[in-house]
Amino acid sequence: SMEPSLSLYPLIITETSLSLLSSLLNLLLLYILRRYLVFHDHLRSLVFQSHLFLLFSNFFVFLRGSFYLLHSSSSSPPQWSNLLCPSDSSPSFFIGQFLLFSIVICVERSYSTVKYDIYEGWTKHTTLIKSITAFWFLSIIFFHLSSLSLSISPISCPSPRLISTPVNDANLPIVIFGVFFLAFIPVFYPNYTKNEETLRAYVKQDYSSLNVRYQLKENTTTCRRFLVQNGLMAVLCLSMLVAFSLMTKEGNFHREIQYLFYPLAGIIISLNWLIFQDSIKRKIWNIYWDGKDALYIHWVNSVHWKKESEVPLLPT
């Protein structure tokens, strides 16, 4: 039966809530990347674009879950078959674009490691902006063409008999993502160690170029963050595949649980930057304290030239 059992509603509520949390975290990260110069222009643009795709993926999952929960009690609820099929759904397309940007980031970080002495002085090239804009334009066209069907998933669902092994048509995207994340680790680890050794030697020899030291420091911290990010994502993919192999073969539940991958991935990746990257963490604190200062200034202005009996209590 393609109608959901009651056991699916807690799962749908969970994935909808997590996708909302993931979207909010991504929005905060995107705001900081857009407003502040926390990275080199090239890296900042690439990270911004990749997280924009990740945001859209989570927003899709949130809308999908909200759509069903809001209409499940109506006289004509949506067909459950139109809400399944993770392997052929739009989030797979968005995460695919995220992986493409990750490959470009690997190349960019490797180049910045090799050319650390001149890379910091480079400014954002118009060619890069035009290339990203063209890529966005083509991606949006492809997405709209693939979504012309009334069904959320334009390609037909895999049959239940294909969902009988940990690696199958339904969870193949997660397998592909896991392989990519594992492949990124041997790229970022040598870059991280190389930058750390170069920075240590550079400081010890008392070179005075702040630009080079800044670039080496950024290379070291960002490569470490990407290394942790890809390790955690590989563990997430492996954990989900193990969970699939241990689950009972209930078709709808088996397919639906895979949508948890997108909000979990968004939360892990966003927190990896928001909590552990010093340049971003400092900006978060600046936003927080600027907000408190603005509140205090507003309170001071509101009590100026008022009698003592009319002075409101200081907001806490």
CATH number, domain 8-291, options 3.30.1120.80, 3.30.565.10, 1.20.1070.10, 3.50.50.60: 1.20.1070.10
CA-atom Rg of the chain in angstroms? 24
What does the chain come to in residues?
316
DSSP code of 83?
G
Check residue 163 and give its pLDDT.
45
pLDDT in tens, 179-217: 999 999 999 999 999 999 999 888 877 666 778 888 899
- Taking only the tens place, the pLDDT of each residue in 69-119 is 887 766 555 554 445 444 445 556 666 777 888 888 999 999 999 988 888
21-25 — which CB contacts under 8 Å span 24+ positions? 21/263, 21/267, 22/54, 22/58, 22/262, 22/263, 22/264, 22/265, 22/266, 22/267, 22/270, 23/55, 23/58, 23/59, 23/62, 23/266, 25/266, 25/267, 25/270, 25/271, 25/274
Decide: 86 and 154 in contact? Cβ < 8 Å. Answer: no
User: Residue 27 in contact with residue 104, Cβ under 8 Å?
Assistant: no
Share of residues in the chain with pLDDT > 90 (%): 28
Task: Kindly report, residue by residue over 128-159, the tens digit of the pLDDT.
Answer: 666 666 666 666 666 555 544 433 333 334 44
Task: Give pLDDT, residue 27.
Answer: 96
- Does residue 231 contact residue 210 with C-beta atoms inside 8 Å? no
Q: What is the dihedral of CA 102, 103, 107, 109, to 10 degrees?
A: 20
pLDDT tens sequence across 17-38: 999 999 999 999 999 999 998 9
pTM comes to: 0.78
- Name the residue type at position 296: Y
Cα separations in angstroms, 299 against 285, 291, 304, 311: 21, 12, 9, 9
